[in-house]
Amino acid sequence: MKTEILKVHNLRVYYHTPLGPLKAVDGVAFNLRTGERFGLVGESGSGKSTLALAIMRLIKPPGRIEAGQILLNGQDLLKLSKDEIRQVRLTKIALVPQGAMNSLNPVMRIKDQTIDGILNHMKAISRKELNERVFELLERVGLNPEVAGMFPHELSGGMKQRVCLAIAISLNPEVIIADEPTSALDVVVQRQVMLTLYHMQETTGVSVLLVGHDMGLMAQFVNRIGVMYAGRLVEVGSVREIFKSSLHPYTKLLIDCPPTLERKGEFKGIPGLPPLLLRPPSGCVFHPRCSKVMRHCSVEVPRLHEVDPGRWAACHLYGNGEI
């Protein structure tokens, strides 16, 4: 039995708009095990990036974390003060932000940007040690030491992305959250970056939470998947089982929708549009687009419950988890 490093309980993040609260994350609960690669998938607007930011406590107004617990090694991140959470970021939990290649400072050398985070957390460290540290980090993500003296515009997208990875691992965090780390890259570079992350994960044993919408990438990279829809988790399970026989109808559609090189002329989209989170449908939020909709789907909200050992789903097809 693996230990759980990150536990999220009943997390709710609302964005307060003039039209009322928008429930971007609405009661999400999941566990991240030590040394595990966990994937969080969903369409745009399903709340997966908000969830990633909430774990880092980076939600800005009008967004607010309304309720829940985020336990990192038993310590509730939501109860920490501003200074305390600053200390936790990067040392225990690091974020590779979405479009990370644009998050580098264009007028700072790569070396200085990498050092920045280290200096913030470790006061007493010599210049020589710092330099060695930077070279070692760049090496770990497969970059030349020369990169240290360069500016971001001198690097390609994939290299910038790897610099962001190097910064994320600079203080050996226990958890890395990667929010669509390769969405702006083409397939060849995407593969290089993902394999870099993979090798790094294998060697250091860090836990990775990969956020994205590409089911293909998830199949290649993660151990377990959580599927998000309209701010809720609708299915959680191991990647093999989910791809073999998914429980929730939405997961099935999501797996089938990327076009492949095998069958030509089949375009499978997901019918209908994602729901408006300001006015979500009653009952199961997916019921207007679901092919297996039943009568009480529009009445009762399905709970995420364990259908088979290790497999969780929130769907009335599998009962509603007797309490």
Partner 1 sequence: MGCLSFVWEWGDMKALLQAQNVKKVFTSGSLLEKNETLALEDLSLFIQESPPTVTGVAGESGSGKTTLARLLLGFIAPSEGKVLYRGRELQKMSRYERLEFRREVQAIFQDPFEVYNPFYKVDHMLTTPVAKYHLASSRSESRKMIEEALEVIGLQSEETIGRYPHQLSGGQRQRVMVARALLMKPRIILADEPVSMVDASLRATILKSLLKLKQEFDISLFYISHDLTTTYQISDDILILYQGSVVEVGDVELVIKKPQHPYTQLLIASIPQPDPNQKWGQDSAPQVKQLSIKVNHGCKSVRCFLYKDASVIPGNTIGKIMAQKRKGAITRRKRLQESAR
* Residue 21 CA: distances (Å) to CA of 15, 17, 67, 276, 279: 6, 6, 14, 12, 10
**Lookup: tokens for 41:** 């998938």
Q: How many CB atoms lie within 10 A of CB 298?
A: 13
Instruction: Calculate the CA dihedral of residues 104, 108, 114, 119 and round it to 10 degrees.
Output: -120
> Which phi and psi angles does 76 have, rounded to 5°?
-80, 110
Least Å from the CB of residue 273 to partner 1: 7
Least Å from the CB of residue 243 to partner 1: 5
* Residue 166 CA: distances (Å) to CA of 115, 128, 191, 194, 276: 11, 18, 17, 13, 37
Kindly tell me which of 124 and 261 has the beta carbon lying closer to partner 1: 261
Least Å from the CB of residue 267 to partner 1: 4
Kindly tell me which of 101 and 169 has the beta carbon lying closer to partner 1: 101
CA atoms within 13 A on the CB side of 198: 13
Q: Which chain residues interact with partner 1 by CB under 8 A?
A: 43-44, 142, 156-158, 185-192, 194-196, 198-199, 213-221, 239-240, 243, 253-255, 257-261, 264-270, 273-274
Kindly tell me which of 234 and 239 has the beta carbon lying closer to partner 1: 239
**Lookup: tokens for 234:** 């609708």
Kindly tell me which of 79 and 279 has the beta carbon lying closer to partner 1: 279
Least Å from the CB of residue 253 to partner 1: 7
Kindly tell me which of 83 and 266 has the beta carbon lying closer to partner 1: 266
Least Å from the CB of residue 5 to partner 1: 23
